[in-house]
Structure 1
Amino acid sequence: MPRRLEIEKALAWAFRDELPKTTRPGGRIKTLGLPAVWGRIDKFGELLELVDEDGLNQWGVFADPFAVTAPHPDAIAIAETVKALGLLALDLPADWDPLGDVELGDDRAAVLARAVA
């Protein structure tokens, strides 16, 4: 039976828990094994480097340099769906006004244009 989650929980799971498992561009998923003490210190140094560099991965989240598994396929499907939302074109009626009774004065047209954009 398929597991069902509320949309907010599914997005949090995908973007917070799973997608960080994809490393930064050019990186790879590392196998930790049983590193020596100095190996752990090196790993901590790599984590600190994320503060000073662009540590975002292909999904726009900070990569987990300690990940030992890839993201779950469902998380990747969620991310691809979210990305595709940006490709949708809005087909709104010319007289569309979601703010109806809100007083905006002369700025009304600019506010609505920004909302659509």
Structure 2
Amino acid sequence: MTVGLAQSLALLSGISRFGVSMSAGLLRKLSHATASDFAFLLALPVIAGAAFLKLPDLFAPEYRSLLGPILAGSIVSFFATYASVTFLVKWFKTKTLYPFAFYCLLVGLISIIRFA
């Protein structure tokens, strides 16, 4: 319940739904592997719901000429997602989130300096 409620923080701009779910799982004393598996599983209904709502829009007459590029992009996206999820699940079974925290801090600071 805590992990699910923590996802509501992702409604705020710039907050990662996966990151919040993972952090909430770790705060609830789940193992890294269990927390990451749970966070990825929680993404499935969100992704399926978005696809269900937006897929009919792709078949509107004004998008017919884009169906080829959309299909190609979807296929590439599927394989990229599969590769990244596989990598991250293996990573979280043995390692920590510190490299990702450092990356987020660095990119956030650069963004603040650049766009402030």
Is the shorter-chain TM-score for this pair beyond 0.5, marking a shared fold?
no
Which of structures 1 and 2 has the larger relative contact order (alpha carbons within 8 angstroms, sep 6+)? 1
Q: TM-score scaled by structure 2?
A: 0.23
Higher helix share: 2
